[in-house]
């Protein structure tokens, strides 16, 4: 795979640089288009604005270099540098995202009280409003944890226009991917216990139609969204999807959603980063993000992992 200005899944890709000196690193993003696509039958995936998604899960190398440059309370360390950053709670993932923003001169995405370190909600005046009010995310954040809809669209939407057409698996198919320990062949994913540990983040199976790798298998991934669908409580359960290297096939399905407390961490729990679109690619548009409290989604397995 070639990074630094490329086309993946028909979308524009770009590598963003962070850090400095020996601790410089890049993160690869792909623009997610088809603005205003419809929800899947599960009730997820409709996004009324353009955004970018990290091509891979965040690697341990990113956490290590960020810590070397002063990031604090970000966890990690379960695996080697090229494997996913794991043993990372939702709060720790949010802190790493804040560090990415500040390193590039942007506003932090998430609010942590400097006196006690506890997360707080943004006011409505400061909160993200694109597609609906989101009290977790700052309105000027450039990098953030993907919402449930943002993550779902990048994984399962067929990338065929403003449609409600989705695949069952994040490899662009309704058939289960071939289980592998590592590799980049189409229609493969790292799951089923074929390997004894997660693969390198850039060697974690075939791509989604938009060009994402490892959204099915390797490690579970945190989503920004609270399990209730409304981000109005800092200690609410958070969504996590995608499955890990030892997960059965059913866990990789689009209809399966898990949840955990934001303090939860494990060697099978990682995350990836999303971002606003680059100038000249796609514009943020208004709309509704489908974050209605108490709404039941169709065809969904709701599980606490």
pLDDT greater than 80 at residue 157: yes
Q: Using one digit for the tens of pLDDT, what is the confidence trace for 116-131?
A: 999 999 999 999 999 9
E strand intervals along the chain: 6-8, 11-18, 25-32, 51-54, 111-112, 119-120, 127-128, 134-138, 143-144, 178-180, 188-190, 220-226, 238-241, 256-260, 269-270, 274-275, 301-304
Q: Which of 303, 11, 7 is nearest to 153 (CA)?
A: 11
Distance CA(291)–CA(53), nearest Å, equals 20
pLDDT greater than 80 at residue 217: yes
Query: What is the DSSP code string of 45-73?
Result: ---SS-EEEESSPPBHHHHHHHHHTT--S
Q: What is the pTM of this model?
A: 0.91
pLDDT given at position 10:
54
Q: Which of 151, 143, 153, 288 is nearest to 225 (CA)?
A: 151
Q: How confident is the model at residue 2 (pLDDT cuts 50, 70, 90)?
A: very low
Give the least confident one: 58-67, 141-150, 194-203, 286-295: 286-295
Q: Report H helices in the chain.
A: 60-68, 90-103, 148-156
Q: Could you tell me which residue, 293 or 182, shows the higher pLDDT? A: 182
User: Do residues 238 and 223 lie in contact, with contact meaning Cβ atoms separated by under 8 Å?
Assistant: yes
Distance CA(118)–CA(100), nearest Å, equals 19
**Residue 195 DSSP symbol:** S
pLDDT greater than 70 at residue 11: no
User: Do residues 121 and 135 lie in contact, with contact meaning Cβ atoms separated by under 8 Å?
Assistant: yes
pLDDT given at position 292:
28
For the chain, the straight-line distance linking the first and the last C-alpha, in angstroms and rounded, comes to 33
pLDDT greater than 50 at residue 27: yes
Q: How confident is the model at residue 290 (pLDDT cuts 50, 70, 90)?
A: very low
Distance CA(29)–CA(107), nearest Å, equals 19
The CA–CA distances, whole Å, from 56 to 17, 35, 62, 72, 278 equal 15, 22, 12, 23, 18
Q: Which of 155, 143, 174, 131 is nearest to 32 (CA)?
A: 155
Please give the class, per CATH, of domain 6-304. alpha beta
Q: How confident is the model at residue 219 (pLDDT cuts 50, 70, 90)?
A: very high
Q: How confident is the model at residue 288 (pLDDT cuts 50, 70, 90)?
A: very low
pLDDT given at position 13:
73
Q: How confident is the model at residue 279 (pLDDT cuts 50, 70, 90)?
A: confident
Q: Using one digit for the tens of pLDDT, what is the confidence trace for 37-91?
A: 999 999 999 999 999 999 999 999 999 999 999 999 998 899 999 999 999 999 9
pLDDT given at position 12:
63
Q: Using one digit for the tens of pLDDT, what is the confidence trace for 220-278?
A: 999 999 999 999 999 999 999 999 999 999 999 999 999 999 999 999 999 999 999 97
Mean pLDDT over 170-190 rounds to 98
The chain-wide mean pLDDT, for the chain, equals 90
pLDDT given at position 244:
98
User: Do residues 206 and 187 lie in contact, with contact meaning Cβ atoms separated by under 8 Å?
Assistant: yes
pLDDT given at position 8:
54
Spell out the SS3 assignment of 131-158.
CCCEEEEECCECEECCCHHHHHHHHHEC
pLDDT given at position 1:
37
Q: What angle do CA 149, 259, 185 make, to 5 degrees?
A: 60
pLDDT greater than 70 at residue 286: no
Q: Determine how many CB atoms are found less than 10 A away from the CB of residue 210.
A: 27
Sign of the four-CA dihedral 167, 12, 127, 164: negative
Distance CA(139)–CA(129), nearest Å, equals 7
């Amino acid at each position: 795979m070639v990074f630094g200005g490329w086309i993946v899944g028909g979308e524009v890709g770009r590598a963003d640089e962070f850090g400095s000196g020996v601790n410089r690193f890049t993160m690869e993003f792909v623009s997610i288009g088809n603005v205003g696509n419809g929800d899947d039958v599960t009730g997820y995936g409709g996004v009324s604005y353009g955004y970018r998604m990290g091509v891979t899960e965040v690697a341990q190398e990113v956490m290590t270099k960020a810590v070397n440059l002063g990031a604090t309370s970000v966890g990690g360390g379960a695996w080697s540098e090229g494997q996913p950053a794991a043993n990372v709670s939702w709060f720790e993932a949010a802190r790493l995202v804040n560090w990415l923003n500040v390193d590039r001169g942007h506003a932090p995405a998430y609010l942590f009280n400097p006196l006690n370190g506890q997360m707080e909600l943004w006011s409505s005046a400061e909160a993200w409003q694109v597609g609906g009010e989101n009290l977790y995310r700052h309105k000027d954040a450039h990098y953030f944890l993907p919402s449930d809809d943002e993550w779902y669209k990048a994984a399962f939407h067929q990338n065929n226009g403003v449609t409600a057409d989705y695949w069952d698996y994040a490899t662009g198919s309704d058939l289960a991917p071939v289980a592998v320990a590592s590799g980049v062949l189409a229609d493969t994913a790292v799951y089923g216990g074929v390997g004894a540990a997660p693969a390198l983040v850039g060697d974690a199976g075939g791509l989604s139609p938009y060009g994402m790798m490892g959204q099915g298998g390797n490690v579970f991934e945190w989503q920004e969204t609270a399990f209730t669908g409304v981000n109005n409580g800092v200690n609410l359960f958070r969504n996590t999807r995608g499955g890990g290297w030892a997960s059965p096939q059913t866990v990789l399905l689009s209809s399966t959603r898990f949840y955990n407390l934001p303090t939860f961490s494990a060697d099978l729990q990682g995350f990836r980063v999303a971002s606003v679109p680059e100038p000249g690619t796609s514009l943020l548009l208004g709309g509704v993000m489908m974050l209605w409290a108490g709404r039941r989604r169709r065809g969904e397995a709701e599980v606490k992992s």
